[in-house]
């Protein structure tokens, strides 16, 4: 929680995601209906001019577990990226991942409705790997098995894994194209930030002490 106290934008994004989830639960309870037809991303919605869905879908989730998994990903990468990029560029990365991931899912994959922050989270994971490729991290495979790897490896796992799962038809109910699109967006956006000098690099560890001779 200490890291989030110094990362207000990350905390706000998590709060918005939780608020949308609670709003959907309350709306369903009191009105026996759903916010999904208005805010989830669908081909029908886009065809009807509901363009806001390319962003609002990224704040809706289908279950508490779906919400938890995405918020863990946001918590893992968000605070450091917020410090590296600043608030506006950080929000641009989040939104870019949602838009590109959502559009790719709608046009290249089966399924008519998409919800979840996975596209944005994958943009952050790959963006993190793009900016700090040599950083040693410990990733939890299936949220249980700790595996040490470089950040670049995690980025490749997101990209290659999403593509292969889509190609092989594994877990078709999951938006693999949204993950892939978000990851690609994260890479491109962070490369643009680097080229424009918008990344605030800083040492992650103190330099070793030198001895005077």
Provide the CATH number for the domain around residue 72: 1.20.1540.10
Q: Residue with structure tokens 């997101």? A: 158
205, part of any domain: no
Token reading at 157:
């796992």
209, part of any domain: no
30, part of any domain: yes
Q: Residue with structure tokens 């918020």? A: 71
Distance (Å, whole) CA 191 – CA 183: 12
Contacts of 133 (CB under 8 A, 6+ apart): 150, 151, 152, 155
200, part of any domain: no
Write the DSSP symbol of residue 136: E
Residue-wise pLDDT tens digits, 160-203: 999 999 999 888 888 999 999 999 999 999 999 999 999 987 65
Q: pLDDT value at position 171?
A: 87
Token reading at 182:
């978000």
H or E stretch covering 131 = helix 118-131
What are the Cα distances from residue 122, in Å, to 17, 96, 117?
A: 16, 11, 9
109, part of any domain: yes
Q: pLDDT value at position 5?
A: 62
Token reading at 51:
């363009």
Residue-wise pLDDT tens digits, 17-56: 999 999 999 999 999 999 999 999 999 999 999 999 999 9
147, part of any domain: yes
Q: Which domain holds residue 177?
A: 2-195
Q: pLDDT value at position 212?
A: 47
Tally of CB atoms within 10 A around 155: 22
Q: What is the pTM of this model?
A: 0.89
Distance (Å, whole) CA 18 – CA 67: 8
186, part of any domain: yes
Q: pLDDT value at position 205?
A: 44
The domain tally of the chain equals 1
Distance (Å, whole) CA 137 – CA 148: 6
18, part of any domain: yes
């Amino acid at each position: 929680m200490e890291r989030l106290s110094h990362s207000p934008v990350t905390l706000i994004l998590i709060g918005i995601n939780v608020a949308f989830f609670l709003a959907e639960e309350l709306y369903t309870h009191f009105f026996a209906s759903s916010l999904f037809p208005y805010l989830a991303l669908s081909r029908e919605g886009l065809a009807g001019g509901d363009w806001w869905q390319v962003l609002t879908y990224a704040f809706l989730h289908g279950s508490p577990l779906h919400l938890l998994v995405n918020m863990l990903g946001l918590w893992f990468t968000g605070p450091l990226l917020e410090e590296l990029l600043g608030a506006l560029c950080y929000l641009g990365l989040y939104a870019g991942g949602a838009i590109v991931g959502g559009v790719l899912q709608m046009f290249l994959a089966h399924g008519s409705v998409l919800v979840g922050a996975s596209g944005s989270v994958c943009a952050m994971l790959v963006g993190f790997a793009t900016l700090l490729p040599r950083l040693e991290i410990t990733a939890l495979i299936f949220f249980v098995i700790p595996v040490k790897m470089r950040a670049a490896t995690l980025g490749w796992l997101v990209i290659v894994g999403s593509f292969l799962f889509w190609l092989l038809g594994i877990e078709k109910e999951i938006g693999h194209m949204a993950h892939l699109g978000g990851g690609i967006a994260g890479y491109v956006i962070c490369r643009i930030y680097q080229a424009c000098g918008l990344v605030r690099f800083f040492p992650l560890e103190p330099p070793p002490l030198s001895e005077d001779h």
